[in-house]
Structure 1
Amino acid sequence: MIEIRGLSKSFVGQDGGRVQALSDVDLDVAENEFLTVLGPSGCGKTTLLKAVAGLVPVDSGEIVVDGTKVRGPGPDRAMVFQNFALLPWATVLDNVAFGLELRGVGRAERQERARALIAMVGLAGFETKRPAELSGGMQQRVGIARALAVQPRVLLMDEPFGAVDEQTRRLLQEELLSIWEESRLTVVFITHSMEEAVLLGDRVVLMSARPGQIAEIVPVPLERPRARSLERSGKYAEITAYLWDRLRDMHEEHRAAR
């Protein structure tokens, strides 16, 4: 579904020098897979996701989605950001329907589709509210509904629950799993939480410290549909502990090399 080959990306740093964000990244994501991505801060996780979304150009390498090379944003991919990125002046209904409007979908059809998704994410009755009137968790539900409205084949999620409290985060995780079980989109999900990565993912990609590379891919052989009870299982604890050990080792290696 997603093929990434030899991907490298650098930026101009604040001092005017080049900062290598990604170096020679190779990665395959299967159709309908839920892939989670972990790594030290600043390792290029968001840059990788934005490159797949077509939001940033790359220095070398290529990204192919369903046989088509990525050259920019496309209707087959939708992105959910940590900071919600909602239109502050627009209602919930108009925010969810925004991408459909850009694609020329008629008003009646886009509102019908938006209302159905608003109900799916548990916000029926809030259609006329604006983002400032919503909690953080509710705003993120709007962001997820907006991404789903354009019916993408790939959903790209950049720490989407990082700005909400722990209780809301757990509820959103369960909601996302339910939506994914129903839609079976291909999902690439960035997180800083080992527990979240294991709870959600079919596999966990571990990225090294900058310049970001794929250090390891860890399978998560836990049955689906996922339930909170698996957090008490030995296998869940084993995978989570392994990920923490690997991340701690990478941090210490990076610090020693500086």
Structure 2
Amino acid sequence: MIEIRGLSKTFVGQDGDTVHALRDVDLDVAENEFLTVLGPSGCGKTTLLKAIAGLIPWNDGDILIDGTPVRGPGPDRGMVFQNFALLPWATVLDNVAFGLKMRGVGRSEREERARSLIALVGLSGFETKRPGELSGGMQQRVGIARALAVQPRVLLMDEPFGAVDEQTRRLLQEELLTIWEKRRMTVVFITHSMEEAVLLGDRVVLMSARPGRIAEIVPVPLRRPRSSDVGALERSGQYVEITAYLWDRLREMHEEQRPAEVAG
């Protein structure tokens, strides 16, 4: 489905120095796989996701989707951002239907599809509300519905639950699992949370500190579907073992990043 070969990305920082964000990243993502990506802050996770989305150029390497090189954004990919990125002046219905409108879908059809997705994310009755009238969790549900409206084959999610409180985050995780189980698509999901990475993912890609590389890919052999009993899953020995292993690896990376102490 997604093939990434030798991907490298540099950019110039605010101080004028060259920053190596990604170096020689090789990664395959299978069709309908839920892949989570975890790593230290600044390791290039979001840069990798934006490259897959076609939102930024890169220096070396290739990204292919079903064998076709990525040259820019495309209708096969939808993206959900951490900061919601909704149109503040538009209603929930218009926000969800926005991508369909941009693709020339007629009003009746796009509103019908939008209403169906609004119901899917649990927001029926809020169609005429604007983002400022919604909680953070509700806004992110709108963002997910909007991304799904264009029926992407690949859903790219950049820490989508990072800006909401812990209770809302857990509810959104369960809702996302339910949606994915119903609508199977390829998902690449960026997170800082070991628990979230394991709960959602088929595999966890562990990235190294900058320059970002693939340090390890950890399989998550937890049963699916998972949405029906998340609590039992989180108490299972496998879940605890995998999250503990990921934390040990991340802690090692943080320790390697610490500057050497000057003697005396």
Give the TM-score normalised by structure 2: 0.96
* 1:254 partnered with 2:257: yes
Give the AA of the match of 1:237: V
Pairwise CA distance, 1:16: 1.2
| Separation in structure 2 between the aligned mates of residue 172 and residue 21 of structure 1, nearest angstrom | 30
Aligned with 1:230 (options 211, 230, 233): 233
Give the AA of the match of 1:207: M
Match in the other structure for 2:127: 127
Unaligned runs of 5+ in 2: none
Match in the other structure for 2:189: 189
Match in the other structure for 1:80: 80
| Separation in structure 1 between the aligned mates of residue 49 and residue 81 of structure 2, nearest angstrom | 10
Give the AA of the match of 2:244: A
Match in the other structure for 2:158: 158
Match in the other structure for 1:146: 146
Pairwise CA distance, 1:256: 4.3
Pairwise CA distance, 1:203: 0.2
Give the AA of the match of 1:60: D
Match in the other structure for 1:50: 50
Pairwise CA distance, 1:73: 0.0
| Separation in structure 1 between the aligned mates of residue 96 and residue 118 of structure 2, nearest angstrom | 8
User: Could you say what secondary structure the match of 2:258 adopts?
Assistant: helix
| Separation in structure 2 between the aligned mates of residue 136 and residue 15 of structure 1, nearest angstrom | 34
Give the AA of the match of 2:60: S
Pairwise CA distance, 1:122: 0.3
**Structure 1 residues 217 and 94: alpha-carbon distance in aligned structure 2, compared to 1, 3 A threshold:** same
Greater alpha carbon shift after TM alignment, 83-92 vs 11-20? 11-20
Give the AA of the match of 2:115: R
User: Could you say what secondary structure the match of 1:19 adopts?
Assistant: strand
User: Could you say what secondary structure the match of 2:170 adopts?
Assistant: helix
Match in the other structure for 2:95: 95
Aligned with 1:245 (options 241, 245, 248): 248
Pairwise CA distance, 1:211: 0.4
| Separation in structure 1 between the aligned mates of residue 117 and residue 243 of structure 2, nearest angstrom | 33
Give the AA of the match of 1:117: L
Residue identity (%): 85
| Separation in structure 2 between the aligned mates of residue 68 and residue 121 of structure 1, nearest angstrom | 32
| Separation in structure 2 between the aligned mates of residue 65 and residue 252 of structure 1, nearest angstrom | 36
| Separation in structure 1 between the aligned mates of residue 260 and residue 64 of structure 2, nearest angstrom | 34
Give the AA of the match of 2:181: E
User: Could you say what secondary structure the match of 1:62 adopts?
Assistant: strand
| Separation in structure 2 between the aligned mates of residue 19 and residue 220 of structure 1, nearest angstrom | 32
User: Could you say what secondary structure the match of 1:8 adopts?
Assistant: strand
Pairwise CA distance, 1:25: 0.3
Pairwise CA distance, 1:257: 6.8
User: Could you say what secondary structure the match of 1:74 adopts?
Assistant: coil
Per-residue deviation, residues 17-58 of structure 1 (Å, max 9, x unmatched): 211100010000000000000000000000000000000001
| Separation in structure 2 between the aligned mates of residue 28 and residue 13 of structure 1, nearest angstrom | 29
Pairwise CA distance, 1:15: 1.1
Give the AA of the match of 1:121: V
Match in the other structure for 1:60: 60
* Count of aligned positions: 258
Give the AA of the match of 2:112: E
- Give runs of ≥4 in structure 1 deviating > 6 Å: none
Pairwise CA distance, 1:235: 0.7
User: Could you say what secondary structure the match of 1:113 adopts?
Assistant: helix
